[in-house]
């Protein structure tokens, strides 16, 4: 029977090889990429170790730091698990300071104040904001599954005043900070302008691989909805509906579009989801890892 998972030793050995493209032979730590390279704009969507298993039906042990090393990217977003099956297998547990230690070698970190499935709590938001503001390589906050696509009284997980308070806390840090939110193609037609005005950027995701054919047009729609927003292109490596790898043709499509759009300054970056799908045998992961190796040092 063909083995579809990697051992922890194989993961760490491969991760060590991945860092070769971004480190010097004599250096024990990363040599971070220059600002004008593709690699500098690449992010890992980081999930608590083990938490994605309910969505893939495959056991995973890889942490966000390991995932970023394995993929060869210098920026990490830390996204909390939901309140259900994900959390039962792994979540970021307060106090959050120890997670920041493992992320010190990375160039930029976004910390999630609203997590998977829209999970949030006042206590975790408060501690997360404090961590962001005192940690030098943390560059802002992110809100996952923040907007509500079903008709109803609420447009988002938090009220506008709560969002304004987050902005005030980030500004009080005295450092440049960004406030980002997940934004799906399914949200494009909703009147979310009041919320979008309070954001600095979005991570923009296409759930179905077949919908990637409309990716250029949909990115343009985001720009039309809120021209001030910075856009980080969210790239799934797994079709979670079917629980299979994204087809390589679809993976190539979104990566090639992202590369071209980065060159044209139409995107701020690209983000790959997630460490929790990277040690379980999905083909698109290895294709993406090789793509990062090939294009990472390209100047933009």
pLDDT above 70 for 54: yes
Three-state secondary-structure class, residue 148: coil
Average pLDDT for residues 69-92, to the nearest whole number?
97
Cα–Cα distances in angstroms (integers) from residue 276 to residues 5, 8, 45, 174, 298, in the given order: 12, 13, 9, 34, 27
Average pLDDT, the chain: 91
What does the pLDDT average to over 9-18? Answer: 44
Phi/psi at 244 (5° precision): -135, 170
pLDDT at residue 30 in the model:
64
The closest of 106, 107, 101, 99 to 124, measured between CA atoms, is 99
- Quick one: average pLDDT of 53-59? 97
Overall average pLDDT of the 150-176 stretch: 94
Identify the three-state secondary structure at position 23: coil
Residue 27 above 90 pLDDT? Answer: no
- CATH class of the structural domain 35-295: alpha beta
User: Could you tell me if 200 and 194 are in contact, meaning their C-beta atoms sit under 8 angstroms apart?
Assistant: no
> pLDDT at residue 63 above 60?
yes
Q: Nearest-5° angle of CA 243, CA 8, CA 10?
A: 95
- Which helix (H) or strand (E) segment holds residue 75: the answer is strand 75-78
Residue 14 has pLDDT above 90, yes or no: no
- Cα–Cα distance for residue pair 265/259, rounded to 1 Å: 10
Q: Do residues 236 and 206 touch, judged by C-beta distance below 8 A? A: yes
Q: What is the pTM of this model?
A: 0.90
């Amino acid at each position: 029977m063909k083995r579809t998972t990697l051992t922890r030793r194989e993961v760490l050995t491969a991760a060590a090889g991945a860092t070769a493209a971004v480190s010097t032979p004599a250096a024990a730590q990363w040599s971070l990429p220059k600002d004008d390279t593709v690699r500098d704009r690449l992010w890992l969507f980081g999930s608590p170790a083990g938490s994605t298993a309910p969505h893939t039906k495959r056991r995973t042990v890889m942490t966000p730091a390991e995932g970023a090393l394995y993929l060869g990217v210098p920026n990490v977003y830390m996204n909390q698990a939901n309140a259900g099956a994900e959390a039962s297998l792994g979540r970021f547990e307060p106090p959050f300071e120890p997670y920041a230690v493992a992320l010190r070698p990375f160039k930029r970190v976004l910390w999630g104040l609203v997590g998977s499935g829209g999970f949030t709590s006042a206590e975790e938001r408060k501690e997360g904001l404090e961590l962001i503001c005192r940690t030098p390589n943390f560059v802002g906050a992110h809100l996952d599954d923040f907007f509500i696509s079903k008709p109803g009284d609420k447009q988002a997980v938090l009220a506008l005043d709560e969002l304004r308070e987050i902005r005030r806390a980030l500004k009080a840090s005295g450092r440049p900070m960004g406030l980002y939110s997940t934004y799906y193609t399914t949200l494009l037609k909703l009147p979310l302008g009041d919320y979008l005005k309070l954001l600095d950027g979005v991570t923009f995701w296409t759930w179905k691989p077949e919908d990637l054919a409309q990716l250029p047009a949909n990115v343009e729609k985001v720009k039309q909805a809120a021209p001030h927003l910075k856009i980080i292109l969210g790239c799934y490596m797994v079709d979670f509906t079917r629980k299979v790898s994204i087809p390589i043709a679809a993976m190539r499509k979104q990566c090639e579009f992202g590369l071209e759009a980065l060159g044209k300054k139409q995107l701020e970056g690209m983000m790959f989801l997630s460490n929790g799908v990277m040690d379980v045998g999905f083909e698109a992961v290895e294709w993406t890892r090789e793509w990062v190796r090939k294009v990472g040092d390209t100047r933009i």
